[in-house]
Structure 1
């Protein structure tokens, strides 16, 4: 047992076991756990003659972590309180104030002033708020909300998000991070209601009713290179300039922490002609390998390599080589192991897979050159520019048959099922490609009058209009005696994702959705105005559509609390009703914001303006009465939207939420629980992380991911999809020994059920790195 405790400023106190007993009472307050186990474990870890107060807190946390079991999961909160003690003392020492157990936070204004002066926080925190206002916001902080964290959540927040000085010293505490985010997101709001909006945003985050996206959590209010949006989608033009410009744009976004999706379906295939020279194109694989090198060499803020997903249509002539990109065998010159890939699938292909029919592959450049299809402006169109307007019939299949039957157009014809086998082989070995059901997506696109959705993003939940940026001309210009090279480009729709998410397992039981959703929408909308994106076409697209993606996490956590089995009709109905309610509140909030600030610039001609958005989802037809929203309420909202507009072109997107759901202590996104007790591995130890609110009651509703029937998961996703105007990061969990016929049926079921995409195929034999950018 130690003899002395070393305190800051070279003070020493005699070690007092009674103080350990008092400390144990404090960190265990509210939990029915055996205190003697904690004290015994702490004493066993304090074997040196002299210890520090920090080492005592560390011993408390480590002992509590050792005691976590399925039967006693609440030790994770005891461990968190030990870590909190350490954080409070570190911040107090670094900021030179006295921390007490009942008042652990220091004064807020000196923190803001000091970190602005040091160049860590942004000047707007001082220029847009007076000292009196900052003091008022400091008084509004609720330190007790720190007790909502479990250990792994608090540790994740500390390591990745809290502000440190340039020497790595902790300066910011959890509630201060939430307040700074709220202040920065609201700093451009009118002065008369700015303070109330800051408090409302802080309320939402501090009570863990929601989480902001990882880039916003990390960067809001900080004077760093990173930006606030989560991820981006580029469409590559079929030209040398387009390909290299896209790579440059990807690098510029990747360095600031953005996840990137890249659509390559317009780039000519291998063996195609270049300027009339036959069989000269090397196809898309070399360009993907170049993007792979960019992902590796341009890392995200020095923490990890960039994250890039590439998408290709299943009718592109390079699709077979594309599907083998990540395999561990074969020609390494045709591989790109650090890239993620997705395949874009029309209904017709899935029908051919079902019927075991043939499928033809084309070069997009040759299709445009030979078929002669034009848009209203005279621009050449390819197969990728069409989709089927109805299930089973439409424009794409008509154009596809025209291409198949054209005598001059080269094609490769294979069995559709053989392509699907290649897809499934890659998925079982690597987890990808993602599946993107392009007809389903475009049929439900509320802004189809203004463009086409070709692919998705890194996490398959963002689905917005896309088009390639094209170099118009490059010229030498002399002005005032100076000569410059001026490059003129026509900006395409370069998609931007702005995300945050509802913590379902807290917001729903606490009945706060009506209050929560409007402040979330305002926070997301403000990100659009505050953010400064280096790629100008992305900035322009962001301003024209003002798209946001409110999402959810903690679904399995909520179902367990409600006593609803995952594999049940009740779960499907519950999903349908809950997500309809969230969507209603979302649309209403965006409409109210439009009344205040104006609708998004491209509102005219959209399905929002025509009312088709509501009719297509059966919100305003019949006499259906939902559990939360009636037909009459939807009709009233439809009329208000047609009159006032909406502020945001897209509203709903369910992201993976890997890291932020850990911070909030809940289950990720819409996924089933992975394990009853999972483990986070650190350098010298493992941290046990039991299922949230695990108890004798909830354990019966926590059937884990690889045991649940994946068809039940698809049924729930199908019920949600009607209400989600974008997509869902929906994973399939399969055993490595799954039969090919069973695996195929899962994909066919997902497509038939109206899912817009599927994300990873997760197998127990695979380790897959989660997307950090879209975690929200």
Structure 2
């Protein structure tokens, strides 16, 4: 056994077996049924040296706890977390130079703010908008007991990726302080008389793990040398050399600040099209995608990982076949782009042709505009991509498509629709992508279709907002006061911004706090819009015009298991329908109340919110589909209130993947089924066992894992939710590598027919897929 323990200040103490026993009692307090003697034996087996440090003892407790984690004894992950927490407290005390590490170091919070503002790590607003007395009052609200809610992998993820460190990499923040700093920063522009109460409410929501903020907000709020607070962006590329290169520059600037990017390329002319009348000169979209691929690699996200970019193209674009092969591992490397993700935009008509084994024609968008002569009310030329079917089975797109097919002067490529679909499915089984974006379904339910159109989605397929290309109007030399400048004028397009956070269903629902929780979440999201400073000005402008937010959820399977509801049951479908209707009701109501206080978003007039169509279209007011938690009369009353007072935000609901933050909260990701009952996180020298949340003899029967559940059951639940989600869901399909083509096709047809707006990854056990951190709310 060791003889001496060396403390961080190099003070040496005699090793005391009793202190090991006392510490074991402390970290096992409240964790019933865990065997203290097994833990102590494991610790002692790792300390066979003459001299050890305090850190080495903490690590021995952590490692011993992790080694004991099994499906039968999952709570060892909390014992390991408590040892990590002790180590974190000690390091923060040493780095911040206070003598001890009490579990409630209230007096250390104000000095922390002063020190990190002075060092340029925290933003000055934290001291400018709050007095010392107010900061001390907020410090009294910090509840360090809530640190015990973390399991080991959740706390480790938070400590490594989100807590504030100094420029030497030393940890300075404690977990509850991170939540308080986020709350203070997001509320710092609120009126002084309400600010403190709102900070406390936001802290309550995060500290109790009733919600999580998106990764950019979680990591960057209150910090000075950091990225922005929004998660993802979507650009629409204009069909011009200036537009293409400007888009690439904008993508680089946003990637530098940690944003994930979606890029719609459906307006860019196809390979072989003319340029300024010169025939067969265009190289098509693939070379420009390769440029974006290079941008993703060379302009990384805050120096931590390569940029994350998704590119989207319509299935009626002439370059679609080459596009579908982008990420394959064979063929011409000059036509590949392995570091971007890709999505395909699909109208109803194409899916109908797939089902009926019909033909499908491909067109160049530039040639279509030139030959067909379609124009909008302002005389601007339109292409096929600018139309959608307003109702199932009929509408503008299919009429324009037939006109294009029958026009004798418009060139086209005609193939079998099922052959395109085969290429899609082949790529999905090999790479997990392309994502599927059902454009007619999306635009039919777009509450702001009076002001624009949705062409594609984002990096994680949950954001669906109006898009348009930014166009360079003119470039001129201007001389003023003896100084010559080059002035470039642009007409800003709708450059989509997504601001995200998510409800932890498995905590918020059982604790019955949704009515209190959703309003503070909406306010937090809305404040991100005003606080954020986005370098790309058209994105900043679009953000201010629509004020779009995306409240999401995670922990669905966790909640179902706690409630004893089987994933593959009609009860699960009904529960999804009722629960998400309630969340949407609270969400719309919260945005309406915020509109009464601060005003509606500038483009409210003419929207489905203003006309009331939003509520009628979803059968909230007909009385024919009455939910368990919200009555028809409540919906009608809310409809009238919205028409009178407006809503603060043009879009409200979007369910993101929540990969990282669901790990922090110790729950299941997003709306996905549990991946494994016992999964492992690989570290350099060891593996961390991660059991299913709240795994017990009761819940294990309701934790059927992702590759075992019937994917049609998952689709049915997603379809029930979709009625209430005004944007989309990051909805994954889990398939076996040997799935039959007919079964795989039927999954896609089912998802489309059920009214799901998009599908995200196709996950196979043969694939390793890198998660998107930008939308990990």
**TM-score, normalisation: structure 2:** 0.99
Residue 132 (1) aligns with residue 133 (2):
yes
Contact 1:314 1:344 in 2 (8 A): yes
Contact 2:6 2:13 in 1 (8 A): yes
| Superposition map of 1:521-600 within 5 A | 521-600=522-601
Match of 2:19 in 1: 19
| Superposition map of 1:318-467 within 5 A | 318-467=319-468
Residue 211 (1) aligns with residue 212 (2):
yes
Residue 476 (1) aligns with residue 477 (2):
yes
Instruction: Measure, in 1, the Cα distance between the counterparts of 2:403 and 2:409.
Output: 11
CA deviation profile, 1:391-441 (whole Å, cap 9, x unmatched): 011100000000000000000000000000000000000000000000000
CA drift at 1:242: 0.2
How many residues align? The count is 776
Instruction: Measure, in 1, the Cα distance between the counterparts of 2:642 and 2:149.
Output: 38
Contact 1:98 1:106 in 2 (8 A): no
Match of 2:231 in 1: 230
| Superposition map of 1:703-718 within 5 A | 703-718=704-719
Match of 1:28 in 2: 28
Instruction: Measure, in 2, the Cα distance between the counterparts of 1:105 and 1:78.
Output: 25
Instruction: Measure, in 2, the Cα distance between the counterparts of 1:132 and 1:8.
Output: 33
CA deviation profile, 1:624-649 (whole Å, cap 9, x unmatched): 43210000000000000000000000
Instruction: Measure, in 2, the Cα distance between the counterparts of 1:418 and 1:329.
Output: 19
CA drift at 1:55: 1.0
CA deviation profile, 1:682-718 (whole Å, cap 9, x unmatched): 1111101000000000000000000000000000000
SS at 2:535 equivalent: coil
Match of 1:9 in 2: 9
CA drift at 1:100: 4.5
Instruction: Measure, in 1, the Cα distance between the counterparts of 2:104 and 2:647.
Output: 44
Contact 1:438 1:453 in 2 (8 A): yes
Distance 1:572 1:187, change over 3 A: same
Instruction: Measure, in 1, the Cα distance between the counterparts of 2:112 and 2:233.
Output: 34
| Superposition map of 1:144-183 within 5 A | 144-183=145-184
Contact 2:235 2:263 in 1 (8 A): yes
SS at 1:620 equivalent: coil
Instruction: Measure, in 2, the Cα distance between the counterparts of 1:247 and 1:714.
Output: 36
Instruction: Measure, in 2, the Cα distance between the counterparts of 1:143 and 1:277.
Output: 69
CA drift at 1:54: 1.3
Instruction: Measure, in 1, the Cα distance between the counterparts of 2:227 and 2:2.
Output: 46
SS at 1:448 equivalent: coil
CA drift at 1:376: 0.2
Match of 1:729 in 2: 730
Contact 2:106 2:139 in 1 (8 A): no
CA deviation profile, 1:165-211 (whole Å, cap 9, x unmatched): 01111100000000000000000000000000000000000000000
Instruction: Measure, in 1, the Cα distance between the counterparts of 2:40 and 2:228.
Output: 45
Contact 1:105 1:143 in 2 (8 A): no
CA drift at 1:82: 0.4
Instruction: Measure, in 2, the Cα distance between the counterparts of 1:460 and 1:188.
Output: 32
SS at 1:107 equivalent: helix
Instruction: Measure, in 1, the Cα distance between the counterparts of 2:677 and 2:525.
Output: 33
Instruction: Measure, in 2, the Cα distance between the counterparts of 1:774 and 1:9.
Output: 42
SS at 2:450 equivalent: helix
Match of 1:770 in 2: 771
Contact 2:106 2:140 in 1 (8 A): no
CA drift at 1:9: 2.1
CA drift at 1:99: 2.7
Contact 2:106 2:136 in 1 (8 A): no
Instruction: Measure, in 1, the Cα distance between the counterparts of 2:198 and 2:86.
Output: 31
Contact 1:666 1:692 in 2 (8 A): yes
Match of 1:189 in 2: 190
CA deviation profile, 1:596-636 (whole Å, cap 9, x unmatched): 00000000000000000000000000254321000000000
Match of 1:755 in 2: 756
Distance 1:37 1:86, change over 3 A: same
SS at 1:450 equivalent: coil
- Any runs of at least 4 consecutive aligned residues in structure 1 with deviations exceeding 4 A, and if so which? none
Instruction: Measure, in 2, the Cα distance between the counterparts of 1:218 and 1:123.
Output: 17
RMSD between superposed Cα atoms in Å: 0.7
Match of 2:667 in 1: 666
SS at 1:342 equivalent: strand
Contact 2:452 2:467 in 1 (8 A): yes
Instruction: Measure, in 2, the Cα distance between the counterparts of 1:41 and 1:706.
Output: 35
Residue 691 (1) aligns with residue 692 (2):
yes
CA drift at 1:98: 2.8
- Using the TM superposition, name which of 232-241 and 616-625 deviates more: 616-625
CA deviation profile, 1:558-604 (whole Å, cap 9, x unmatched): 00000000000000000000000000000000000000000000000
SS at 2:198 equivalent: helix
CA drift at 1:106: 5.2
Instruction: Measure, in 2, the Cα distance between the counterparts of 1:657 and 1:100.
Output: 32
Contact 2:620 2:635 in 1 (8 A): yes
Match of 2:240 in 1: 239
CA drift at 1:138: 0.6
Residue 277 (1) aligns with residue 278 (2):
yes
Instruction: Measure, in 1, the Cα distance between the counterparts of 2:74 and 2:162.
Output: 26
Which 5+ residue runs of structure 1 have no aligned equivalent?
none
Instruction: Measure, in 1, the Cα distance between the counterparts of 2:288 and 2:566.
Output: 47
Instruction: Measure, in 2, the Cα distance between the counterparts of 1:103 and 1:428.
Output: 51
Instruction: Measure, in 2, the Cα distance between the counterparts of 1:34 and 1:346.
Output: 59
CA drift at 1:102: 4.8
CA drift at 1:103: 3.6
Instruction: Measure, in 2, the Cα distance between the counterparts of 1:346 and 1:5.
Output: 69
Match of 2:124 in 1: 123
CA drift at 1:11: 1.0
Contact 2:328 2:431 in 1 (8 A): yes
CA drift at 1:47: 1.5
Instruction: Measure, in 2, the Cα distance between the counterparts of 1:219 and 1:103.
Output: 24
Instruction: Measure, in 2, the Cα distance between the counterparts of 1:330 and 1:54.
Output: 53
Residue 253 (1) aligns with residue 254 (2):
yes
Instruction: Measure, in 1, the Cα distance between the counterparts of 2:654 and 2:103.
Output: 40
Contact 2:90 2:101 in 1 (8 A): no
Instruction: Measure, in 1, the Cα distance between the counterparts of 2:170 and 2:440.
Output: 52
CA deviation profile, 1:314-371 (whole Å, cap 9, x unmatched): 0000000000000000000000000100000000000000000000000000000000
CA deviation profile, 1:512-555 (whole Å, cap 9, x unmatched): 00000000000000000000000000000000000000000000
Contact 2:93 2:101 in 1 (8 A): no
Instruction: Measure, in 2, the Cα distance between the counterparts of 1:158 and 1:463.
Output: 33
Match of 1:59 in 2: 60
Instruction: Measure, in 2, the Cα distance between the counterparts of 1:105 and 1:622.
Output: 53
CA deviation profile, 1:427-481 (whole Å, cap 9, x unmatched): 0000000000000000000000000000000000000000000000000000000
Distance 1:187 1:102, change over 3 A: closer
CA drift at 1:48: 1.6
Instruction: Measure, in 2, the Cα distance between the counterparts of 1:315 and 1:167.
Output: 53
Instruction: Measure, in 2, the Cα distance between the counterparts of 1:770 and 1:640.
Output: 40
